[in-house]
């Protein structure tokens, strides 16, 4: 079976022949029709997450998939061969840059009926991130104010739409050339990050979704109202994440130290900081699929690549400038 993988951390991705997936009792074997490309793929290849995601190399990358069910494990009840599905396979079982992948049925959902497989493949990781930030961690209610950084990107473009659906007033940061694009997605306020300082423009926000980290995260704390929350997806990881992930005591101490500064700043301002490392969920994907099919959410595919161009797809994402998601069409 063909797959794109890397042999050691920081080494380039290349095509290789790999064994066919092993299909467990609760697994679904999926023929890959399309696979979304995410910043997480590059971060894993670069070794940024090896302390909390200790993958063994060589490793096939890919966290998003849309495809067709080939066969199911003996205890699978919700899927049958021929079903059109989409998923973000759970950590430890990634590898959608391949011809086929075995996915735990709990991570899988029937794909939305109103969009193409390429569009469906663009959704799982970013839509789950948006859902878990706004619904699970943020508990966003009508009338609240939400700031979404990098609104024209993969996560941002879906988060704006979901926040608007939840009844929030939505601000976002974007370049001037993307202002009309993010307004069309539902943004009420657009701050041009190249010419404006969002901290000077915004205040009293209930929730910020920060995808940039560093100084951007520190400034994000200062636009929150007292009791507001910043959810970070670039880090730093916090102790709650370390505990939930079952990390060992040494790693927990290290993570507590990494996030100590930002958590102290948050406490001083009377706000909260939480790290989000999204989790696979077929149940949440089913709710997301319903929102796609009723027209609430629309996927944004900025660029597509052939399977043979997987390394170029990853390079294009690293260079930036892709609206929404880049997607690889299956072999």
Same domain, 110 and 133: no
Cα(16)–Cα(4) distance, integer angstroms:
6
Structural domain contains residue 213: yes
Domain count, the chain: 2
> ∠ CA 91-97-100 to the nearest 5 degrees?
90
Structural domain contains residue 54: yes
Q: Which domain holds residue 153?
A: 125-275
Same domain, 191 and 243: yes
Over residues 49-80, the pLDDT tens digits come to 888 888 999 999 999 999 999 999 999 999 99
pTM of the model: 0.96
Same domain, 166 and 223: yes
Note the pLDDT of residue 265.
97
Give the residue from 197, 179, 138, 180 showing the smallest Cα distance to 162.
138
Same domain, 29 and 105: yes
Same domain, 184 and 269: yes
Same domain, 108 and 134: no
Structural domain contains residue 58: yes
Q: Which residues pair with 85 in a beta bridge?
A: 67, 110
Over residues 195-219, the pLDDT tens digits come to 999 999 999 999 999 999 999 999 9
Over residues 262-279, the pLDDT tens digits come to 999 999 999 999 999 999
Same domain, 22 and 35: yes
Over residues 35-50, the pLDDT tens digits come to 999 999 999 999 988 8
CATH number of the domain encompassing residue 12 = 3.90.180.10
Cα(131)–Cα(112) distance, integer angstroms:
16
Give SS3 for 80.
Answer: coil
Same domain, 169 and 37: no
Note the pLDDT of residue 45.
95
CATH number of the domain encompassing residue 271 = 3.40.50.720
Same domain, 116 and 63: yes
Is pLDDT at 331 greater than 80 in this prediction? no
The CA–CA distances, whole Å, from 303 to 43, 201, 215 equal 20, 32, 30
Strand segments (E) across the chain: 2-6, 14-17, 27-37, 59-60, 65-72, 84-87, 100-104, 108-110, 145-148, 169-174, 189-192, 205-210, 224-232, 272-275, 301-305, 325-329
Same domain, 38 and 114: yes
């Amino acid at each position: 079976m063909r797959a794109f993988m890397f042999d050691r951390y920081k080494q380039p991705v290349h095509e290789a022949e790999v064994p066919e997936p092993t299909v467990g009792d609760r697994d679904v074997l999926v023929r890959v029709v399309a696979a979304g490309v995410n910043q997480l793929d590059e971060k894993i290849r670069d070794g940024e997450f090896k302390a909390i995601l200790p993958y063994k190399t060589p490793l096939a990358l890919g966290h998003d998939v849309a495809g067709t069910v080939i066969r199911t494990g003996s205890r699978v009840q919700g899927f049958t061969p021929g079903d059109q599905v989409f998923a973000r396979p759970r950590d430890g079982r990634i590898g959608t840059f391949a011809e086929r992948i075995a996915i735990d049925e709990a991570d899988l959902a029937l794909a939305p009926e109103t969009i193409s497989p390429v569009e469906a493949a663009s959704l799982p990781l970013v839509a789950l991130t948006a859902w878990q930030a706004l619904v699970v961690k943020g508990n966003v209610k009508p009338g609240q104010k939400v700031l979404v950084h990098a609104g024209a990107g993969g996560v941002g473009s879906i988060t704006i739409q979901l926040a608007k659906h939840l009844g929030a007033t939505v601000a976002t940061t974007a370049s001037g050339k993307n202002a009309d694009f993010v307004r069309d997605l539902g943004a009420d306020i657009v701050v041009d990050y190249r010419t404006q300082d969002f901290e000077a423009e915004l205040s009293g926000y209930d929730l910020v979704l920060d995808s940039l980290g560093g100084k951007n995260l520190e400034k994000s704390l200062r636009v929150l109202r007292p009791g507001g929350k910043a959810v970070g997806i670039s880090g730093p990881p916090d102790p709650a994440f370390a505990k939930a992930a079952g990390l060992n005591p040494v790693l927990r101490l290290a993570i507590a130290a990494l996030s100590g500064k930002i958590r102290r700043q948050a406490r001083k301002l009377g706000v909260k900081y939480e790290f989000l490392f999204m989790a696979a969920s077929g149940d949440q994907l089913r709710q997301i699929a319903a929102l796609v099919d009723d027209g609430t959410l629309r996927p944004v595919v900025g660029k597509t690549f052939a399977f043979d161009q997987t390394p170029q797809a990853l390079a294009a994402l690293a260079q930036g400038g892709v609206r929404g998601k880049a997607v690889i069409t299956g072999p």
